[in-house]
Structure 1
Amino acid sequence: MRKLVLGAAMLLFAQFGFGQAIADQAVIPISVTLNSILRLTIISGGNIQFVVNTIDDYTNGIANSDRYTTTFSVASSRDFDVLLNAETANLLGTDDVANVLPVDNIGFVCPVAGTGGTFNATSVTPLDVAQFTLITARPAGGSTDNEFTVQWELATTALIGVNTTGATLLEQSLNPDNYVVNTFIVVDPN
């Protein structure tokens, strides 16, 4: 019996010798996905139409007004540039595609809006087929922080002084037609 009690006691004490506190761990992976946000929205002025119907329009051009203004906004998660260019070097006649109007008869101004970035068209600039950097290094932000206007004008005295045509619409003796060109606004992340 003694052997039995001694054996049971040894088993009991042996259990305490092997019973150790157990540490456990778990791994929790955490990841962050940053999706690029780059959204350009034309708010108003998505279709600009100059109607030249007086000799005064032919000689002095058509200055900017609300009717000839494009308002757009950019929502971006990164700093960005805004570029502007015409699709072709000439506006083409819709009645007769042989009729052309040089695209630099159209000019634009982009006034400074908000803070940050460099605005490169604060005075009248002729439209061109080559991309023009309208705004450089604008800080990332929402569309309310990044709302801009492009103020368009047609063959004004100020524009004639800086474009390659150097002549009024009247002096260019253009054929009557409805001239059209697509113009692109491009947002390019830095």
Structure 2
Amino acid sequence: MENELISFRSDMLKFAWLQLRDEASAEDAVQDALAAAVSGKKQFNNRAQLKTWVFAILKNKIVDVIRERARYPNAGTAIDEIPDDAYEDLFDGNGHWQDDARPTTWGNPESSYSSQQFWKIFEICLTRLPENTARVFMMREMLGFETAEICKELVMSPTNCWVVLHRARMALRLCLGDRWFNAENRDVEL
């Protein structure tokens, strides 16, 4: 079991870094998750795949780190949102897409989920988000936090949380639309 756990380490580090954006914190979370998995291996009863179980432990460790950071905020924890006017030129005065900015159809996006290349591009797009904007998005969409929990942990209003989530989704949509769903750019160096 220990050898299998070690084989997940690289993916775990990448996942933890995306959540925490700090190499030392990511390393600590992965080490804590691996140690918890080894010490709790009797509790693993094959109801899930080993990797799924270990990543669930890692998610909990990441949540612990995020909660710890929220208890002791510093100047760097303010939400560094995408600017208010970042997408202004994409829409007309009525809030409709400009003709030249309208997103292209994505066809069947579910078929992309099985592509490792898609997930690499998604990770690149996620990494390009401002750090705390990405954190709010990942807390909601990857770690399963409810909006009220995010607001409590990051000391932000629900309205601000929804604005940050909207901007994160818009940025990801534009990045994925350009780098993945637009076949002409799929092989462009990122």
TM beyond 0.5: no
TM normalised by structure 1 equals: 0.20
TM-score between the two structures when normalised by the length of structure 2: 0.20
Structure (1 or 2) with the greater helix fraction: 2
Q: Which has the higher contact order (CA 8 A, sep 6+)?
A: 1
